[in-house]
Amino acid sequence: MDIKNSPIGFFDSGVGGLSVMKEAIRLMPNEDYIYFGDSQNAPYGTKSLEEVRKLTINAVDLLLERNAKAIVVACNTATSAAIDLIRHKYKEVPIIGIEPALKLAVKYNRKGSIIIMATPMTLREEKFKHLMENYDKDYNIISLPCAKLVEFIEQGVIEGKDLENYLKQKLEPYLVDEIGVIVLGCTHYPFVRKTLYNIVDKNVPIIDGGVGTSQELKRRLEEKGLLTDKSQKGEVVILNSNGSKETISLCERLINM
Ligand code: DGL
């Protein structure tokens, strides 16, 4: 098969990366997609760097074995832990990562703080520190680690009292002051945006990096002459390390949201 018409491989620690792949499908509907969620090992954000690196390499190998023409690491945590490593290991393959959309947040030019919600690992790693260096002198940026949020979403809990109480308790200290923008720096979190708006003022933009990452993916494929030439809608294959019926039906629910 012509490599152009091979699938684009997506990977996340679980179901979160579907929030990014949905945007890519919207932008490039004729491409084929293969998604691997490592729900068996989620959450990654509270694991050691070594563990996340090993799991990321396993996931990339799995996608390449299935002929992926490019890899999207649709996980902020795996990107911060392993993107340099995998780009070095798989030099021939276009590899696109994701990071908290701080650059986009400042473009809103709003008064008040910028709150970045992400996993403890994403907020601790060098990559994020470098990103912050560009902005923290001029903006009031608050890093808000939400270690348990991935677990809620992996269990299919994207609304309801328990989740709302958890989010309230996380955000309460910052609600007294003006919030400018909230950045969802974990690909699972866009699925709880609606619940977040029960807590945060409706005028506060709650943004994520899904669209930006998909545009970057398209740009990279174009540059390498790897965009599909098919003219009908592509196929989407979803794989998960936890092959349970519940996880598969959760994936179907989230991708159709
Ligand atoms: N979706 C992953 C991210 O963007 C969640 C990581 C985790 O499993 O903790 O960071």
Summarize pLDDT for 36-95 with one digit per residue, the tens: 999 999 999 989 999 999 999 999 999 999 999 999 999 999 999 999 999 999 999 999
Residue 78 Cα, ligand 1 centroid: separation in angstroms?
7
Residue 243's pLDDT band, with cuts at 50, 70 and 90, is confident
Kind and range of the H or E element at 28? none
Query: Are 238 and 37 a contacting pair, CB within 8 Å?
Result: yes
What average pLDDT does range 121-129 have in this prediction?
95
Active-site annotation, residues: 75, 186
Domains and CATH numbers, the chain: 3-98+210-255 (3.40.50.1860), 102-208 (3.40.50.1860)
Q: How far is CA 141 from CA 11, 47, 77, in A?
A: 28, 25, 19
pTM over 0.95: yes
Does ligand 1 have an atom closer than 6 angstroms to the CB of 42? yes
Condensed to tens digits (0 to 9), the pLDDT of residues 87-99 reads: 999 999 999 999 9
